[in-house]
Structure formats: structure tokens, C-alpha cells
Amino acid sequence: MAISDQLLFFCSALGAFNGIFLSVYFLFFHRPKKISNYFLGLLILALSLRIGKSVLLYFNPALPKIILQIGLTGCFFIGPALFFYLKSEIQNIQKISWQWKAILLTLTSIILLAGIIYPYPKYPEIWNKYYVQIIYWEWLAFMLAAFYILRGTIKKLFSRIEKITTNEKWWLGIYTSNALIFLAFFTVPHTSYILGSLIFSFSIYIIAMIFIWKRKNKLPANGNSVDKYPNKKIDPKTANEWLEKLKTVMVEKEIFKNSSLKLKDVANEIGMPPHQLSQLLNDNLGKNFSNFTNEYRVESACQLLTTDHHLTLEGIGTEVGFNSKSTFYATFKKLKGMTPAKFKAELDKNTPTL
């Protein structure tokens, strides 16, 4: 193997090798434990398997067929992992719904059964003629769905009012690198087969450097430097715009139900520096972040007490975002002047019987 080929192999294979380690980190060791981290780990792992297969095949055309099947099987999960990562991250989803489980189980069953019934070593023509096309079109379909999830972030790129946050730049980087890798493989033989592997290696190191830089510098959620004049009052028109965005994420996304919700999480959702969000709440609503969030939780609890007769009081407190029964009771009583139990009793007393 010539020196140029050795360098090409090293650069392209290193990304796949390190990608596997990075996927293990996000799957098992990254803190905090979030659903989105698991899907990011799955995405990097699936890409690493696909890239590793491509690198090995490029430099060794006589590669055992079972390795090709493993690589293409991993490729089948790239699109779904990308979609579920972005959806869970952007919408701050904390639990995998049964619909997501059904989709993932169906996809896993399809690719495993296909591989068992028609294994690549015995039926390479079926894989090359049909399965590969299905895998790529499935990847594309989920990429289009992920693009739809990112539409709000993409709009902010062209907005003069809203500034794109560091997390949104991260999401766009993940999506763009994925799209470039897809195009590199999808357009073969019009492009070099190894191009996708090189893009992946480059993306892995760019993403890793951004991740390390973010953690080292501990940037605010929106990625901007801290305002030199943090006490400068927000003008009324701008404040009303921020309050509308804040109301939207609290009412429509119900992010207050996340028991570990922090000021910076909400600030990130609306693209605002955390210190300015704190200032907005204090100056315009006259309350701190904890009181603001707990008001939404208590109102949601009141709705559940009125409509849901299956959850226990403790279950309702957990459902709306309180991390303990005592905190739920104390906050509820502070805001409503009575305990949840008494509130429920009053409801039962005033509800006519048939």
C-alpha cells in the first residue's frame, strides 16, 4: 500500500474508530442522563458501523460479506437515530413514548428478519439491488422528517430579532454533517466511495472540539458572551415578545413537567441568555424562576385533580414536575391556600352525583 493510501486509510478509519468510543460515551457515561444522549450515541454508533464498513471495503474488496451486512444494518438506523435525537433534544422530551418504541421495534425487526432470511453472504444480489435502495430511501425519509423538526431553528438563521443559540448551532452541525455523508454515499459512483468516510472523520473531530470547548468555557445557553450591562432594563416591546415565547414553551411544550428543569434550560428554549431571563421574570412578572415554574406546575396539578381520577396525589405531583411529595404539598398550599387533598375533597363535594 502506497504512503498516500496509508494516510487515506488512517484518516478515514480513525473517524470510525473514535466514533465507536464517542458513541459509548454518550450511551453510557454522559451526564446528565437524557433520552437525547442515547439517540445521539445510537446515531454515532450507526454511522461508525457504516463508515467502518466503507473504509474496509474500499481498501479490501475481498472483505467478508457478513461485515458488509453489519455495516448496512447499522446504516438502517442512522436516519431514525438522527430524527429521534433532534426531536427529543429540541422538544425536551424526557421519556420514550410507546409510539417511538413501536417504530424502533418495527425497524429492528424488519432489518434483522431481512438479514436472517436473506443473509448477505448468500444473497448479495438481493442486498445490492433491493435492500441498499430501501436503506437509503429510509435514511432520506427520516432526514426530511428531521429537517421539519429543525424548521424553527432554520428560520432563526434568517431572523433579525432572534439569535441562534449554541445548542441550535450544534443541532445544525449534526444535521449538516449527516446530510453530507448521506449525499456522499447516495451519489456513488459519481463521487468517491471514501468521501463519506472522510467527511465523517472530519465531522467527528469538529463536533468533539466544539463539545470540549463548550464545556471548558461554560458558555451561556445561547452561546453569546455575557452582557456587559446585565442590569439594563429590557424595553417593553422586546419584553412582551420574550414573554410570549416563554408562554409558548411553557404551555405548548409543558417543559415545566421536567423535574430537573433549570433556568438555563428554559433560556435555551427561547434563545435568551439565562441572566436576561432571570431579569425578565423579576422586572416584568415580579417573581423568580422557581416561583414562575411552580405556578405552572400547580395549575397543571389542579387540572389533573379535576379531570384525572386514576392518578394518586403523589402521582399527580410527579406528573407535573415536582420531585417530592412534600414539595408538591407545600407549594400547592402556598399558592392555593389549601393542600391538594383538601382541594380534591372540595371538588368531590361540589360535584353533583347522578
pLDDT tens by residue, 267-322: 888 888 888 888 889 888 888 899 999 999 999 999 998 887 788 888 999 999 99
Question: What is the model's pTM?
Answer: 0.59
Task: Fold for 236-350, please state it.
Answer: Arc Repressor Mutant, subunit A (1.10.10)
Q: Answer yes or no: are the C-beta atoms of 84 and 100 closer than 8 Å.
A: yes
Q: Is 162 helix (H, G, I), strand (E, B) or coil?
A: coil
Q: Which of 37, 94, 145 is nearest to 254 (CA)?
A: 94
Residue 291, amino acid: N
Q: Is 194 helix (H, G, I), strand (E, B) or coil?
A: coil
Encode the chain (354 residues) as per-residue pLDDT tens digits: 556 556 666 666 666 777 788 788 888 887 767 888 899 899 989 888 887 777 777 777 788 889 889 989 999 999 999 999 999 888 778 788 899 999 999 999 999 999 999 999 999 999 989 999 999 999 999 999 999 999 888 887 776 656 677 778 888 888 988 888 888 777 755 445 556 555 666 665 566 565 555 555 544 434 444 444 345 677 788 888 889 989 988 988 899 999 889 998 898 888 888 888 888 898 888 888 999 999 999 999 999 988 877 888 889 999 999 988 888 999 999 888 899 989 888 887 766 544
Q: Which of 118, 119, 105, 116 is nearest to 77 (CA)?
A: 105
Q: Answer yes or no: are the C-beta atoms of 196 and 187 closer than 8 Å.
A: no
Is domain 3-217 annotated with CATH 1.20.1070?
yes
Spell out the residues 6+ positions from residue 70 whose beta carbon is closer than 8 angstroms to its own: 49, 53
Q: What is the widest separation between alpha-carbon atoms in the chain? A: 88
157 φψ region: left (φ > 0), alpha (ψ -120 to 50), beta (else): alpha
Q: Answer yes or no: are the C-beta atoms of 141 and 79 closer than 8 Å.
A: yes
Neighbours of 20 (CB within 10 A): 17
Q: Answer yes or no: are the C-beta atoms of 261 and 321 closer than 8 Å.
A: yes
> Using the 8-state DSSP alphabet, how is residue 284 labeled?
I
Q: Answer yes or no: are the C-beta atoms of 74 and 105 closer than 8 Å.
A: no
Domain boundary assignment for the chain: 3-217, 236-350
Q: Answer yes or no: are the C-beta atoms of 197 and 55 closer than 8 Å.
A: yes
